[in-house]
Structure 1
Amino acid sequence: MKVLFAASEVYPFMKTGGLADVAYALPKALRQLGIDVRVIMPNYGDINVRYKERMEKICSFSVPVGWRNQYAGLLYLEEDGIPFYFMDNEYYFKRNEGSYGYYDDGERFAYFSRGVLESIKYIEDFKPNIIHCNDWHTGIIPVLLREHYSSDETYKKIKTIFTIHNLKYQGAFAKETLGELLSLGENYFSEDKLKYYDGISFMKGGIVFSDIVTTVSDTYAKEIKTPDYGEGLHGLLNEVGYKLYGITNGIDYDLYNPKYDKEIDFNFDENNIEYKCKNKMELQKKLGLPVKEDIPMIGIISRLVQQKGFDLICSVMDELMNLNMQLVILGTGESKFEDMFKYYANRYPNKVSSNIFFSNELAQKIYASSDMFLMPSQFEPCGIGQLIAMRYGSIPIVRETGGLKDTVHSYNECTGEGNGFSFTNYNAYDMLYTIKRSIDFYNNKDIWNGLVNKSMREDNSWNKSANKYIELYDKLLWGN
């Protein structure tokens, strides 16, 4: 079985969110299970030079972009046992920084999507049975495959899977994109094809034209069929429910392993969790917080945006400051939330450390040091933070939505069941009550150490999820 995994970002080459982690860890897990998976992504200008120097050029070819033909170079690199291909075009991908947010993103990813299909002609030892597309950036691939390649013997039997990582980001562009960039006729501007309000949606293309649609947790697969979470596509998602599956993401247990993590001060596992406290005290020193081993530390590592529930935190910050705890924040985002955390760090320097930037080293130290990890998201397709936190013995406090609901189960003091703390309603005081509840249990070391131990022993690796993807691949190819 041969699978070409197409994504706009892949760790360690380019990362803006959880998609990059999935596009690295899932192919790695699939290859370990015997699937020949290869990954293709754009060759961005700010990919680290240490990877650029190792890339080998395979070939160059032309990519149709509407009436134009644009240059494409195809580069190859094997990293961590995974074959990677990079689509090279300096005009589209050698930008100042980052992968998206440019005025011509529609053209850039129309080019990339068509280029993925064209590249198949030039990879000599690999003809995919399945193209696995991810989010809006590659959502148009199944459309182009059907329209422009269905009569070509090389492509006739190729099946497509489209994974929704976050439905909020649609890839919505003007109607003129159809002819100007995709060489598609007016007939595609219809409700049963690509039409999305007055324009078109690449995300909708992936949903309508792929053979199977997946999303990144079972609960999110149900939520996106409702008006509250469906981003205007809930009706369509109900129609295609027969081909919609929810498969919860995992994390790479080699990459996230407190026993061997080089970024943390003291390595540990579930058998010596006392070293977690040593990490906390080192981080307190580093951040200028009072060094106290018995004070609970709550970590937040996130984009500071409304979706992540920061308006809830904003509403009760004064009440939070009355609790016996320390709050450590890492991330960037909307200025109102950045400014709020800076303000409280200045006002309560013994309680709050606001780090309004991103550092992978500091992120790992926060996972290894914090006692709790706060994710009060408005919606969360899957979430990776809570999985990493549990791996490092940091007990998650989450709102019950999407993948947070699927992976975090509230502690029940009567039965001893549960691996974290959760609240249902999107309400600041429900969140505050849940935080207080977690602090109460933190002060009972027998219960708390049991919770930490249980969380660290859970299997949230890609093993289960990768096998579920293989079942879907089998279903596509052989109807099993």
Structure 2
Amino acid sequence: MKILYAAAEVVPFVKTGGLADVAFSLPKALKKLGMDIRVILPKYKDIPKKFLDQMSLIKEFEVSLGDNKKYCGIYSLEYQEIPFYFIDNEEYFKREGLYGYWDDGERYSYFSKAIIEFMGQIDFIPDVLHCNDWHTGMVMALLDSYYRKEAPFNKIKKVFTIHNLRYQGIFPKEILRDLLSLGEEYFHLNALEFYGKVNFMKAGIGFSDIITTVSETYAKEIQFSYYGENLDGFLRHHRHQLVGIVNGIDYDIYNPMTDKNIYVPYQTSLKKKQENKISLQKQLGLSPQKHIPLLAMVTRLDSMKGIDLVLHILEELLQLDVQMIVLGTGDKKYEDLLKNLGKKYPEKLSVNTFFSEELAHKIYAGADLFLMPSKFEPCGLSQLIALRYGTLPIVRETGGLKDTVKPYNEYTGEGNGFSFANYNAHDMLHVIKNALNIYQDKEKWAKLVKCALKSDYSWKKSAQKYQELYHTLVKGENFESQ
């Protein structure tokens, strides 16, 4: 089976969020299942030179964008046995960063059209085209418009994954005609129209055979107004095509036995985990004491991540016998508030308003508890990484956090973390205090950590579910979401 996987960012080439991790680790897992899977993304300026130097130019052609012809070069690179293709156009992609430019509508209209041209140019017509988030959503509408009846393109099955519904790619109506060459028949409520504008996310939802999102709970949540970002009605209309499949993480990258970023390799040895904790405390200027519970957050400093809740109770929390580490960048207001608290409580709070993959690994390995009180969380990868390193998550019960963290049951001893339901700072603090009390019972704590270490959130199960979806589509069988 041939799969073309299209995404705007892919690890290890470029990354702004979890999409990039998934866009590498899922194809890697599908490759292991015997699929001919290839990945396509833009050739950004930010791609490290070591990868740029390995790329080969394999094709050059022009892409029609309205009345204009735009250059397109296709570069290829095989990485970990997966073929990657990079769409080259310096006008659109030779810039710092990936998104946030005034002409993003034009840039990703070009990217969408280039993906379609690419398939014919290199003679790779996939059985399944799998697109991700708004940046590639328009590909689905373009395929419907240009190739609905034209072989072999009309045989391609279309899968679209929503990673985060908040970001939709909404642009002026003129894009439809001036760039995409789509007629008025595509500008209505059941197609691309969205409050008088064009919505790329709607294109992906409305013109795909199957819509997936990154956890079962999030697939349900986005059909209601609180989480639906004004697309809940549209998603309810397409609910029979919608399925939630929880993301996994790459167990080769996140492996406490082989991870070169952490201080001491370990598997189930809690003693060696404590060695990582002591080294982390020393590196970040905290008092190196293994008996003090160490909380951590590796996060984007954004309201959706629950930073307001944390700031509301942080000083109260720091009155307890506890230490805390925060790593991440984001809203300057949150950065400044956290930095000021870090200066006020230097012996208890380490605030690091930058991002370092190496330090993140050290924190996952060295902390005792991982705090993730998100307002909403489509899937979340951080809690899965924390579990992999035996660091117990404290999460709010939303999206993928609810699906992956099983709260500790004091009567049965089951669970792999802690959770709270209401978006309320003191509900969260109550659960944190409960976790800190259990931490004092070393026997209970050791059992909980071992449960966390046994949690399997590799891509194996989820990749098999995607494989089944693809087979269902290609065989022409009826698909019914759960």
What TM-score do you get using the length of structure 1 for normalisation?
A: 0.98
Matching residue's letter, 2:210: I
Amino acid in the other structure paired with 1:360: E
Letter in 2 for 1:354: V
The Cα of 1:287 is off from its aligned counterpart by: 0.7
Aligned match of 1:158 in 156, 159, 182? 156
Among 354, 359, 365, the alignment partner of 2:356 is: 359
**Which amino acid in the other structure matches residue 141 of structure 1?**
V
Q: Which runs of 4+ in 1 moved over 6 A?
A: none
Aligned residue in 2 for 1:302: 299
Task: Deviation per CA, 1:391-418: give whole Å up to 9, x if none.
Answer: 0111000000000000001100100111
| In 2: Cα distance, 1:123 partner to 1:276 partner | 49
State whether structure 2 residue 392 is matched by structure 1 residue 395. Answer: yes
Question: Match for residue 130 of structure 1?
Answer: 128
What amino acid sits opposite 2:395 in the alignment?
V
Question: For the residues of structure 1 that align with 2:289 and 2:278, how far apart are their CA atoms?
Answer: 7
Mapping 1:408-427, distance limit 5 Å: 408-427=405-424
Q: Structure 1 residue 150: deviation in Å?
A: 2.4
What is the identity, as a one-letter code, of the residue corresponding to 2:181?
Answer: S
Cα offset for 1:193? 0.6
Q: Which secondary structure does the structure 2 equivalent of 1:267 belong to?
A: coil
Percent identity, aligned pairs only, is: 55
CA distance in 1, matches of 2:46, 2:299: 22
Deviations 1:62-89 (A, max 9, x none): 1111111100100100111111000011
- Asked if residue 433 in structure 1 is aligned to residue 416 in structure 2, the reply is no
CA distance in 2, matches of 1:262, 1:427: 38
Query: What are the Cα deviations for residues 136-168 of structure 1, in whole angstroms up to 9, with x where unaligned?
Result: 000001100010122432312011100000000
The answer to whether 1:368 aligns with 2:365 is: yes
Residue 226 of structure 2 aligns to a residue whose secondary structure is coil
Distance in 2, Cα, partners of 1:285 & 1:314: 25
Distance 1:189 1:479 in 2: 29
After superposition, what is the alpha-carbon deviation per residue over 1:289-347, rounded to whole angstroms, capped at 9, x for unaligned? 11111111111001100000001011112211112111101100001110111011000
| Residue from 161, 174, 177 that aligns with 1:176 | 174
Partner of 2:197: 199
Once residues 428 and 220 of structure 2 are traced to their aligned partners in structure 1, the CA distance between those partners, rounded to angstroms, is 23
- Look up the equivalent residue of 1:299 and give its one-letter code: A
- Map of 1:248 onto structure 2: 246
Q: Does 1:279 align with 2:276?
A: yes
* 1:6 and 2:6 correspond: yes
Q: Give the secondary structure class of the aligned counterpart of 2:410.
A: coil
1:316 is aligned to 2:317: no
Q: How does 1:49-64 map to 2 (within 5 A)?
A: 49-64=49-64
Counterpart in 1 of 2:187?
A: 189
Q: Residue type matched to 1:410 in 2? A: P
C-alpha distance in 1, partners of 2:148/2:410? Answer: 59
- For 2:81 and 2:133, how far apart are their aligned partners in 1? 24
Residue identity in the other structure for 1:76: S
State the Cα deviation string for residues 217-242 of structure 1 (Å, max 9, x = none).
00000000001000011111111111
State the Cα distance separating 1:436 from its structure 2 match. Answer: 0.6
Unpaired stretches in structure 2, ≥5 consecutive residues = 478-482
- Cα RMSD of the aligned pairs, angstroms, is 0.8
Residues in 1 aligned to 2:469 and 2:258: alpha-carbon distance in whole angstroms: 34
TM-score when scaled to structure 2?
Answer: 0.98
AA matched with 2:21: D
Determine helix, strand or coil for the equivalent of 1:41.
strand
Residue 424 of structure 1: CA displacement?
Answer: 0.2
Query: What corresponds to 1:40 in structure 2?
Result: 40
1:120 is paired with a residue of what secondary structure? helix
- 1:226 matches 2:220: no
Deviation at 1:198, TM superposition (A): 2.0
Code of the residue aligned with 1:325 in structure 2: it is V
- Is the partner of 1:121 in helix, strand or coil? helix
Cα distance between partner residues in 2 of 1:113 and 1:342: 42
> Which secondary structure state, in structure 2, belongs to the residue aligned with residue 336 of structure 1?
helix
Where 2:225 maps in the other structure, the secondary structure is coil
Structure 2 match to 1:384: 381
CA deviation string 1:98-152 (max 9, x = no partner): 211111111111100110010011224x321111000000000110001012243
1:347 to 2:344 alignment: yes
Tell me which residue corresponds to 1:142. 140
For residue 134 of structure 1, what is the amino acid of its counterpart? Answer: N
**Residue 112 of structure 1 pairs with residue 100 of structure 2:** no
Q: Shift of residue 277 of structure 1?
A: 0.7
Counterpart residue number, 1:21: 21
SS at match of 1:160: strand
CA distance in 2, matches of 1:347, 1:364: 26
